[in-house]
Amino acid sequence: RGFKQPGDMRGKPVRFGVTTDTTMGSRALAEALGAKATLVTYDGLPEACLAAARGDVDAVVNIFGTVYKQVNALQGKLVPFLIVGGDRMPALPDTPTAKESGLKLEDAAFTLRHVIVGPPNLPKDVQQILTSAIDKAVHDPEFTAEMKKAWGHISKELN
């Protein structure tokens, strides 16, 4: 359909390729864009990106690292045209952010959230032990330093 920038979608039907974890974010983005969304579900991001490259869907929304690998793999058949959350990225210096494009989006709809679950009869004391251990781990300075180091390696690889 030739969408080159987010504003091109306003008032138009847009087919979003989604996976189970991107449905809400894609719907929120479509609403912010003023697009008439149709969500087409795929088993995974590679399938959704291939669908976009073929023209079966108009857009795919997913986390940067994963989408960026697909953009590179499909050699110009996918073009990033909007960074949904946060600031511009060094790997995509010409790609505007949602904020720059005047879109009002809740970052929460585009943040990966992981949930740890257990059986319904998990004793409260066990639940408290697990919660405490996880909290302690994610606030440990050594763990935090390692995660920042890992992210630095990933960022360099993507740039």
pLDDT, tens digit, 9 for 90 and up, residues 89-109: 888 888 888 888 888 776 545
CA angle 79, 102, 78 (to 5 degrees): 5
Q: What pTM did the predictor assign?
A: 0.67
Only one residue has tokens 């740039």, namely: 159
**Higher per-residue confidence, 115 vs 66:** 66
Nearest-CA neighbor of 102 among 30, 3, 7?
7
Cα 35 to Cα 30: distance, rounded to the nearest angstrom? 5
- Give me the pLDDT at residue 4, please: 81
Contact 86, 77 (CB under 8 A): no
Cα 158 to Cα 155: distance, rounded to the nearest angstrom? 5
- Give me the pLDDT at residue 159, please: 46
Cα 56 to Cα 40: distance, rounded to the nearest angstrom? 9
pLDDT, tens digit, 9 for 90 and up, residues 10-69: 999 999 999 888 888 888 888 888 999 999 999 998 999 999 999 999 999 888 778 888
Q: Structure tokens of 130? A: 């697990």
Only one residue has tokens 């912010």, namely: 32
